């Protein structure tokens, strides 16, 4: 028997309605914020991610699904920010509108060790806004992430924010960390020892116990920020306050991807366990230019859909079902039943029937399992009278309806 690749999931019909619901809410909320959907390919050139995420990042070093060809190296996309920026530049979108708001829903691929909430194929709901460095935009994007979570009926999450500052500020933060950790280097894990020289910011992200202890002891504030970046971050926080978004200032928050500058944020949930990030994002003001486009500020975030589903409250999982289940008794009624089914569907009413030869009792039980809203029964009696028996499965009410009045009755 074949098995699915470790770290991948089959989304079976019992679960797919939850996914549809999440997607429906996503599309509606993004529409309210005037975002438009973008769909980029699942494969990209590997070098796109080396360049944007950074060669020293964990994703590029260890987690890329590489597809080697004779001439090129492609990969399965590990995230979509770089792809969206690539598409933005390649399709000259900046020539028609310098300010663009994109959202996306789709699979991402990372060669990780699978565990709860950590998959090799997982799904992002994300967005990217390109063309502005306004602090009010940072607040709108963070508040949009907050709104989406509420719309998904998720509570109990924490929004942590920080500012890494501009490129010079990031260098300064690196130097501050190197100075503070120099004496403690011996206590850090092998990975952090490697990070110390080339990528000291990533030490703050280490999940290793002893490293976490050393990090917790560091006095890190906002000394690395230049005045412009300080002012920007102050305005972001003021806008978040006026939008009533609750957040925690988290000076140790850095992100695992090199493209971030300025505001960064992460949304965590205790219900997730070790992999506690529901989503994350931030500004990447240099990326558009670095990938060959204009000098434009940009910001975005992404949620992991599988993680959203792990913490969603059960009430969100109850899906209303307007299915009409038709039970026809006898050969003649069956023929008439097929015509009725056809009419219902043409009138935009979801309808189904039994193709397994079930008894009336068995078919009723199935209708119940399917959570059908109505059952329609048609047998010899009904045929003679030109009616159907309509049972409302929620109220239990049962009545005979003339066939030509059926659609009207079901629609009201």
Q: Binding residues for ligand HAM, per CB under 6 A?
A: 79, 81, 110, 112, 117-119, 122, 124, 126, 128, 277-282, 300-304, 306-307
Task: Characterize 376-390 residue by residue with b for buried, 16 or more Cβ atoms within 10 angstroms of its Cβ, and e for exposed.
Answer: bbbbeebbeeebbbb
- Residue 278 beta carbon to ligand HAM: minimum distance, rounded to whole angstroms: 5
Residue number with CB closer to ligand HAM (251 or 282): 282
Residue number with CB closer to ligand HAM (275 or 328): 275
Residue number with CB closer to ligand HAM (118 or 172): 118
Residue 151 tokens, joined: 């719309």
- Do residues 236 and 247 lie in contact, with contact meaning Cβ atoms separated by under 8 Å? no
End-to-end CA distance of the chain: 50
- Residue 23 beta carbon to ligand HAM: minimum distance, rounded to whole angstroms: 16
Residue number with CB closer to ligand HAM (233 or 374): 233
Strands 263-269 and 157-163: antiparallel
- Residue 245 beta carbon to ligand HAM: minimum distance, rounded to whole angstroms: 18
- Residue 276 beta carbon to ligand HAM: minimum distance, rounded to whole angstroms: 9
70 burial level (CB within 10 Å; 0-12, 13-18, 19+): exposed
- Residue 127 beta carbon to ligand HAM: minimum distance, rounded to whole angstroms: 7
State residue 338 phi and psi, 5-degree precision: -60, -40
Residue number with CB closer to ligand HAM (124 or 202): 124
Tell me the β-bridge partners of 402: 387
Q: How many residues does the chain have?
A: 412
Give the residue from 259, 257, 31, 253 showing the smallest Cα distance to 147: 31
Residue number with CB closer to ligand HAM (124 or 170): 124
- Rounded to an integer, what is the distance from CA 190 to the centroid of its chain? 33
- Residue 65 beta carbon to ligand HAM: minimum distance, rounded to whole angstroms: 12
The DSSP symbol for 57 reads S
């Amino acid at each position: 028997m074949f098995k699915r690749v470790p770290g991948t999931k089959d989304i079976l019909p019992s679960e797919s309605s939850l996914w549809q619901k999440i997607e429906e809410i996503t599309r509606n909320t993004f529409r309210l914020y005037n975002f438009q959907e973008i769909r980029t390919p699942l494969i990209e050139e590997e070098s796109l991610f080396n360049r944007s995420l950074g060669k020293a990042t964990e994703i590029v070093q260890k987690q890329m699904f590489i597809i080697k060809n004779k001439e090129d190296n492609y990969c399965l996309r590990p995230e979509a920010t770089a792809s969206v920026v690539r598409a933005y530049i390649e399709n000259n979108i900046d020539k028609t509108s310098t300010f663009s708001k994109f959202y996306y829903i789709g699979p991402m691929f990372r060669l990780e060790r699978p565990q709860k909430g950590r998959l090799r194929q997982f799904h992002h709901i994300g967005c990217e806004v390109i063309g502005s460095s306004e602090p009010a935009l940072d607040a709108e994007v963070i508040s949009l992430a907050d709104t989406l979570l509420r719309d998904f009926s998720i509570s109990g999450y924490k929004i942590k924010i920080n500012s890494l500052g501009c490129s010079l500020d990031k260098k300064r933060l690196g130097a501050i960390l190197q100075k503070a950790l120099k004496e403690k280097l011996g206590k850090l894990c092998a990975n952090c020892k490697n990070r110390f020289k080339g990528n000291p910011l990533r030490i703050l992200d280490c999940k290793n116990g002893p490293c976490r202890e050393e990090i917790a002891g560091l006095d890190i504030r906002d000394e690395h920020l230049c005045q412009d970046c300080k002012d920007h971050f102050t305005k972001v926080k003021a806008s978040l306050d006026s939008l009533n978004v609750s957040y925690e200032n988290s000076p140790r928050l850095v992100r695992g991807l090199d493209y971030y500058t300025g505001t960064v944020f992460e949304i965590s949930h205790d219900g997730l366990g070790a992999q506690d990030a529901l989503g994350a994002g931030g500004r990447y003001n240099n990326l558009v230019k670095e990938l060959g486009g204009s000098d434009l500020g940009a910001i975005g975030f992404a949620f992991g859909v599988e993680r959203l589903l792990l913490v969603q409250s059960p009430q969100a999982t109850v899906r209303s079902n307007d299915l009409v289940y038709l039970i026809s008794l006898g050969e003649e009624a069956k023929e008439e039943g097929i015509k009725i089914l056809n009419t219902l569907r043409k009138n935009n009413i979801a309808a189904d029937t039994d193709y397994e030869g079930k008894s009336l009792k068995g078919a009723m039980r199935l209708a119940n399992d399917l959570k059908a809203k109505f059952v329609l029964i048609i047998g010899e009696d009904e045929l003679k009278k030109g009616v159907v028996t309509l049972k409302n499965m929620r109220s239990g009410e049962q009545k005979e309806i003339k066939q030509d009045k059926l659609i009207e009755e079901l629609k009201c």
